[in-house]
Amino acid sequence: MNDDRNRSWPSQEPDAPRRARRPQEDPGPAWPADDAPRRPAPPRRPPAGGPRPPRAPRAEAGPEWPSGDEGGPQWPAADEPRRPQRPPQGRAPQGRPPQGPGPQDRGSATRASQILDGQGAPPRRQPPAGRPAPGGPNGNATQGFRQPPPSGRPPQRRPVPPPPSYPEPEREPDLITHAAHNGYAPYDDRYDDDRYDPYDEETRLAQYSDDADFEDDPEGEEDGKKKSKADLTPKQRRKRRWKIVRRVLYAMFGLFVVVPAIAFVITYFTVDVPSPQEVLAQQSQPITFYYGDKSVMGRSVPQGGNRELLQPNQVPEVVKHAVYSAEDATFETNSGFNVMAILRSVFNQATGGTGGGSTISQQYIKQATKNDEATLTRKWTELAKSFKLNNETSKSDIITGYLNIVFFGRRANGIAAASKAYFGKDVKQLNASEAALLAGMIQGPGKDRDTAYMQKRWNYVMDQMVANHWLSPADRKAAQFPTLIPRDSQQKEDAGTLDFHIQQRIMQELAAKGYDEDKLYSTGAKIYTTIDPNAQKLAVQSVQDNMEGQTDENLRGALVAVDPRTGGVLAYYGGPTTVKNDAGKDVLATDWANVPQNPGSSMKPFDLTAWLKMGKGLGETFDGTNNRQLGGRVVRNAGESASCGPVCTVKKAMEVSANTVFYDMVLNDVKPSRVAEAAKEAGVRPAPKGKGKLGTEDANIALGGGATSVTPEDMAASYSSFASGGVRRDQHFVAKLTNSQDEVIFDDTNGQGKPAFDDNADKSKQIAGNVTDALIPVIAESHLKCPSGHDCAGKTGTQQYTMRDDDPKSYSDRNSQTWMVGYTPSVSVASWIGGDGTKPLHDKNGKPIYGKTIAGPTWQDFMTNYLKDKPGEKFDKVEPIGKDADEVVTSSKAAPPPRETTSEQAPPPSTQSSSSAPPTSSSHPSSSTTSPTRPSGIFGGGTDGGNPGSGGGPVVNGEPPRRTG
């Protein structure tokens, strides 16, 4: 900024010195005319880092101008050279481009004299008024130096008088931008050196070095050398030492306080903290199974161990205090981490001691995230997450979440499971001594067999409870080490009476609905089944009682009961859970209730269903004689008692189980596909939805042989559609599913069904009622009894063993599967006694087994015991479909006209099955060779009733027939 507002810059001469002059003051020698000599350049400073040249002794008098024959004015040798001046703005330092003129160039000729006033240096001379400043109007020459004289004119030497001594004059006000040039700041003679670069980094930073305080101290130099550190005064050494200490403290504060604080804040806002509710949803909990009466059936514990999750209000205070004493006494007041505990942990680690510094919040984070890596990154983020957790979640939720997931040993996760595993009681029943033991096991859950360790930890926690005023000294003194229950007692209690085969069927059913095992464990599912505990007990007892004493090691048994009103499975027994293998070790046994087998004559009700759906009735007649040629094969009944003459009603054929009638019906009228459809409508589930198979390649499905196979469960469920009056309700094991907090996931308790055999419910009921009418007489025909006061209906079934070439002849009358399937309005039961596949079976007397032998009595025992003391029940009456069987007069004297066989239904000659053989060359029964019929038994239903001659197999070249009873 220009101080003289009336004069232009830089054409006019620089300002006069701002120092005010006293009156009568000699302004000093004037400038010579036009050719004032230049001041000599000061000696160059040595480069940074080099030896510093010794200073010349100070002169007593001012400098003299040199003689005319010298190159310029010289300072007297005895006089100390002036300090170098800052280069003017018009003249650039060495190595730097020149700068343009600026306001600071004004008055530069008087700066040195103003600064050196009072220091023995002569004042600067100002040029006379009207004379231009040295260096021309542009001010390119260094101000304050005289210009060399013109050529031919000798230079004049003019002595410079010493400056007068006078008090410091008052200074006129100055602009703040000129303060560094008007005497308010000390003058730096480095600016007089043309080599000095104020922007040089090394030069600029040299003033901040450790020795900067001593470089310019005259007392610090001796013989031209700077004092060493040893030559410093005590005061200087203390000053230097404290400077180092301060800098170290600043660095430590920044390194250990500022940087970690910034990093912690950044980490705090970047990490995610799982809430207790989110962690709760991820924990595996046991699946609890309940009977139909809501009593506990058993529990399935996940592989990681037992767990039971609690709510905050379910954790007793005594348990909390015990855990605080063992793990984190300051939990209620800290912010998620304890600085003193961390320092104590570091000290313990350094000195070889034990003890960690983690708070309960930190341990909860580690357990919830399942991350326990021994890395600084994990510990750092754990601190931030713990602090954030305490800012976002209540202490009550944190301690509850921690106690729900921490492992206590004995396969127990969480305090609730641990309470039962160690003491066999609920957590709310724990006292201080028991709570202290469980809290002490948190640090060493794997040492639950080490009594000494448990005693040590118990004493420690009890003492800490006293120290923290959570337990009185008197109670501590009176406390005794708690008594533990055996390790495996809780496992036995968890198993309860849960049948493994039932458990598997339940899990399969839920998986089909989208609730796999992992999801059930994660929610702590409560499964309310349809199993009646009394019915389940009777099912097991009925099979085992009737299998007792049997000598055939290939015999297997199963029984399934279904409630027709709901479709729920009331009882399910597929045999024992384990069996001995060849090495004598226990292995998992087969669930025979879920293995498909040939149903034999128990398939005939589905033949009848398909017949009724066509509008045909029970009064229709067929040729029920034995050994009929049908479809290119010979079909025969099980002896004369299984034959009902040439005019046999459908109802009578069902009663005596006449194979020829139903094979004829399916082959020529109904067709196999309609039988398969009727079976599926009733409830048989073929693959892929189930395990069964309904063979429609030939008419063997009519007699339940060949490729047709169903499970006992499917048979019980399908017959229940008849018992319910034509309403199908899919069999199921689960009535209701909830999570551990009793929130309902689904509820099928009502058991809504739909018409099974026709879209019209009345029509479906009529079909089912006609089937029931045909099956009622079978019970008495098979010499079975219904419970008193109850109507029963059902059908037996037998599948003959298929002979092999190397089998003895005694196997020719053996059977491989036997059935009895029957129902009342309230229960449908399928009883199966057979073998694994096709094997020749015999009873304890060495005789072939039939429906009467084991399966029938097993079914009867269950029905009698289950329905005992229950109200009596009757089937609903329905109108007959088609011809009424009661109005038809049958006679064995008049044979009906022969029925045409459908050749396309007969398989090719090479086709064989367990119930058929290649057709004979004859097409009429009279031309076939018939084997002698075996004597009839006490039942009139063929092999279904116990006679050995039942079956639908043909006679081929005099070979024994094959039969399906």
pLDDT tens across 284-293, in order? 888 999 999 9
Residues in the chain: 965
Annotate 272-309 with b (16+ C-beta within 10 A) or e (fewer): ebbebeebbeebbbbbbbbbbeeeebbbbbbeebbbbb
Interior CA angle at 285 toward 284 and 288, to 5°? 145
pLDDT at 38: 53
Which residues are within 8 A (CB) of 410 and not within 5 positions of it... i.e. 6 or more apart?
A: 418, 421, 422, 448, 487, 490
The tokens for 641 are 């008692």
C-alpha angle with apex 672: 668 to 677, nearest 5 degrees? 130
Of 491, 363, 481, nearest in space to 421 by CA:
491
Which segments of 592-639 does DSSP mark as H helices, in order?
Answer: 604-613
What pLDDT does residue 273 have?
A: 75
pLDDT at 871 over 50: yes
Confidence band (pLDDT; 50, 70, 90) for 834? very high
pLDDT of 760 over the 90 cut: yes
CB 468 within 8 A of CB 325: yes
Q: Tell me, what amino acid is at 169?
A: P
pLDDT score at 907: 37
Where in the sequence numbering do the catalytic residues fall? 327, 601
Q: Give residue-wise pLDDT tens across range 492-521.
A: 888 889 999 999 999 999 999 999 998 999
SS3 per residue for 1-66: CCCCCCCCCCCCCCCCCCCCCCCCCCCCCCCCCCCCCCCCCCCCCCCCCCCCCCCCCCCCCCCCCC
pLDDT, mean of residues 524-538:
96
Q: Contact 822/792 with Cβ under 8 angstroms?
A: yes
* SS3 label, residue 719: helix
Residue 189's pLDDT is what?
Answer: 57
CB 601 within 8 A of CB 703: yes
Q: Which pLDDT value is given to residue 370?
A: 64
The residue with tokens 């085969």 is: 501
Phi, psi (rounded to 5 degrees) for 492: -65, -40
Structure confidence by residue, pLDDT tens digits, 365-416 = 777 776 666 666 666 677 777 777 777 788 898 899 889 889 999 889 899 9
Name the residue type at position 34: D
pLDDT given for residue 765 in this prediction? 97
- What does pTM read for this prediction? 0.65
pLDDT in tens, 218-257: 444 444 455 566 678 888 888 888 999 999 998 988 887 8
Q: Encode 602-627: b = buried (16+ Cβ within 10 Å), e = exposed.
A: bbbbbbbbbbbbeebbbbbbbbbbbb
pLDDT value of residue 446 = 87
Q: What angle do CA 85, 90, 92 make, to 5 degrees?
A: 70
Write down the pLDDT at residue 560: 98
Lowest-pLDDT range, 247-251, 389-393, 685-689, 869-873?
389-393
Give per-residue pLDDT as tens, 74-101.
544 444 455 555 554 444 444 444 444 4
Are 728 and 937 within 8 A, CB to CB? no
Taking phi first (over 0 means left), then psi (-120 to 50 degrees means alpha), and beta for anything else, what does residue 721 get? alpha
Give the pLDDT confidence of 775-820 residue by residue, as tens digits. 999 999 999 999 999 999 999 999 989 888 888 988 888 999 999 9
